[in-house]
Chains A and B, each alone.
Chain A
Amino acid sequence: MRCAKARKYMLEMVEEGLSPLLQQRLKVHLESCPTCQGEYDALQELYYTVKGLPLPQVAEPLGTEVLGLVRQRIRAEGIEPSLSLWNRGGWRILSLFRRPLLAYTSLVVIVGLVIGGILFWFSYSQRVTVDLSDLTLDEVEQAWELISPEMEVDMELIALLDSLSPEEISSFSDELKVEVEPDLILSEVPILPSGYLNSGYFYYDLSDFSPEEIEEIIQQLSDKGSSNPSPQKEGGGARLFLKPIDEFVSI
């Protein structure tokens, strides 16, 4: 063992905290190195002198008066044990987790799910109300394209709604999730991320419609001046942004 290392271990040796192996090696070094032996002796003397320092003079030895005084103070100041949030019960669920890391991770996951859910709900349910009463269908279509190219199919819906009686509109407007006032074309249309339009949620298969019925739809749309009256979408299948199909058939 070298002197530098020996100095490093001296204090631990004095405190009797050194492993037997290192103790042995240090002892061997001290026996062969008078300088280190001198330092070790001085350190040992210092340690035990400090350890043996008497306490400052106390007028009276401490009895049990601390407890009495503490109790007195608690009474005088009306101190009550304060219950933590934990003990009030709200956070007791976390006590299921004895490991803090697990508890924190769970908390982060739960918070993440809640925030994710809120963000999803906002993005899903974001709606706009557009008053289209003063516009022609061509103008409306242009406006929709400006707002979102994904919404062009709604033109067909608007055109179709325009052809229905107020009673027919109100009968299924709830299910369409579209607010419609018969006298003006007022549409509240969900704006969704592009992927959702292809999710099947807003597209409905019209394959059960007879060609005559589909022709009638197209005709109605054409009569209203839609620039794109055809409901032919998505790979040639007859699809239209409308629900429910049964009620549509009854037109």
Chain B
Amino acid sequence: MVSIKMKKENVVDDDLQLVERFKRGDQSAFDELVLSYQSRIYYLILRIIGDSDEAADIAQSTFVKVYRSLHSFRGRSSFKTWLYRIAINLTKNYLREKVKKERLPPLREAERQAEGKLEEMIAKERSQMLRETVSLLPERQRLTLILRIYEELPYKEIARIMGGTTGLAKVNYYHAINNLRKKWTKLNSAH
């Protein structure tokens, strides 16, 4: 446990050192930051939007934005939290644009439709169904769930990334799990 904590602290220190080096004009420090986080950011976005090309594009935009505004990073949160916040915000923007462009029904409507499609979904493989169920969660719950389960972030960090309080992050996570549980129970009983 102690060694894990120390490792985390070292990562944070390394990140801050790289940020400082970049601020002093060392461009290679930025490259190191990108190399160190590109996979995590890409897969985080991929898990949210499910489209590899778009995920790569948003990941690029994330790092371009980091490059542009790294000088304004104060180190109040860890670099990772700051980076995740940029990535999540760009992903949310992308999802909103996508909804506008494709005139997708709002999420609540989509949820109702999903209820209707439940029978149809039963025919699919369970994990696929579960993934679809996750994708139909309200945006905030879904993002919180992904940050908590896959990124294993504490609520405090999720709150910093998503905006809002630690309590709100916790509530969103519990709602997400509860919503999934209800649908999961239905799926299981249908089987």
Chain A interfacial positions (CB closer than 8 Å to B): 11, 42-43, 46-47, 49-59, 62, 64-67, 69-71, 73-74, 77, 79-84, 86-87
Tell me whether A69 and B60 are in contact (CB under 8 A): yes
CB contacts (< 8 Å) of B184 on chain A: these are 42, 46, 49
B59-77 to A contact mask, C-beta < 8 Å, 1/0: 1100110011111101000
Min C-beta distance of B178 to chain A, whole Å: 9
Supposing A66-B59, A67-B34, A70-B60 touch, asked if A51 and B150 sit within 8 A by C-beta, the answer is yes
Smallest CB gap from B23: residue in A: A87
Give me 20 A-to-B residue pairs in the complex whose CB atoms sit less than 8 angstroms apart, sorted by A's number: A11-B177, A42-B185, A47-B149, A47-B177, A56-B46, A56-B50, A56-B51, A62-B39, A66-B60, A67-B31, A67-B34, A67-B35, A67-B38, A69-B56, A79-B67, A81-B69, A82-B71, A84-B72, A86-B72, A87-B23
* Top-5 shortest CB links A-B: A84-B72, A66-B38, A70-B63, A67-B34, A56-B50
Q: How large is the interface on B (under 10, 10 to 19, 20 to 34, 35 or more residues)?
A: 35 or more
Q: In this complex, what residue of B is CB-closest to A66? A: B38
Q: Which of B51, B68, B149, B180 is A81 in contact with, Cβ under 8 Å?
A: B68
Most buried by B among A77, A81, A83: A81
Q: Which of A54, A58, A65, A70 touches B67 (beta carbons < 8 Å)?
A: A70
- B48 → A minimal CB distance (Å): 10
- Contact yes or no, A50 B180, CB < 8 A: yes
In the bound assembly, the distance between CA atoms of A47 and B63 in angstroms comes to 31
Q: Are A82 and B72 interface neighbours, CB within 8 A?
A: yes
| Chain A residue nearest to B59 in the complex (CB) | A66
Q: A56-B52, A58-B52 are in contact. Are A49 and B67 (CB under 8 A)?
A: no
Mark each residue of chain B from 24 to 53: 1 if its CB lies under 8 Å from any CB of chain A, else 0.
000000010011001100110011001110
Which A residues touch B35, using CB under 8 A? 64, 67
Most buried by B among A11, A66, A71, A79: A66
- Mask, B135-150, CB within 8 Å of A = 1, is 0000000000100011
- How many angstroms between the C-alpha atoms of A47 and B185 in the bound complex? 13
Q: How long is the Cα–Cα vector from A221 to B40 in the complex, in angstroms? A: 93
Instruction: Check if B64 sits within 8 Å of A49, measured CB to CB.
Output: no
Inter-subunit contact A79/B130 (CB<8 Å): no
Query: Which of B39, B56, B181 contacts A46, CB < 8 Å?
Result: B181
